[in-house]
């Protein structure tokens, strides 16, 4: 209970608007970088609609299976092996960002994805 109270206090001190701006900035950076690599970012080009989640999946597969295709699974494994915490949900590779994520971390993920594509 004490830890929860301290965490909530810290979030309130920072402010929800500042948190949202920080998180969406990192999400836009990540989505743009992945798109630049030709990866299928759900939602396309980042903009006002960008929130705290960046997801990858082939749009043609969205109407089909809920399972991840082999490329998504392979990238997921590559990122996990390189200490990137990411999940696969409903067949999509899902990056769930928050205040503790940084632009440098987004750049590291983009570099890892580029390495995976090579």
Whether residue 1 is contained in a domain is answered as: no
Query: Would you place residue 82 in the very low, low, confident or very high pLDDT band (cuts 50, 70, 90)?
Result: very high
Q: State how many domains the chain has.
A: 1
- Give the number of residues written for the chain: 118
Task: Supply the range of the domain harboring residue 104.
Answer: 16-117
Average pLDDT over residues 64-70: 67
Predicted model pTM? 0.84
Whether residue 9 is contained in a domain is answered as: no
Whether the pLDDT of residue 65 is over 70: the answer is: no
The 10 Å CB-count burial string (b at 16+, else e) for 18-38 is eeeebbbbbbbbbbbbbbeee
Whether the pLDDT of residue 62 is over 60: the answer is: no
Is-contact 97 109, C-beta < 8 A?
no
Is-contact 61 90, C-beta < 8 A?
no
pLDDT recorded at residue 9: 76
């Amino acid at each position: 209970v004490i830890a929860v109270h301290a965490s909530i206090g810290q979030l309130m001190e920072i402010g929800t608007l500042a948190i949202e701006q920080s998180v969406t900035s990192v999400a836009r950076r990540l989505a743009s970088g992945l798109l630049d690599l030709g990866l299928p970012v759900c939602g396309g080009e980042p903009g006002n609609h960008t929130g705290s989640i960046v997801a990858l999946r082939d749009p043609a597969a969205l109407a089909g299976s809920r399972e991840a295709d082999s490329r998504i699974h392979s990238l997921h494994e590559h990122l996990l092996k390189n200490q990137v915490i990411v999940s696969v949900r409903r067949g999509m590779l899902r990056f769930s960002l928050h205040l503790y994520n940084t632009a440098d971390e987004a750049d590291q993920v983009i570099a890892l994805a580029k390495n995976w594509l090579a």
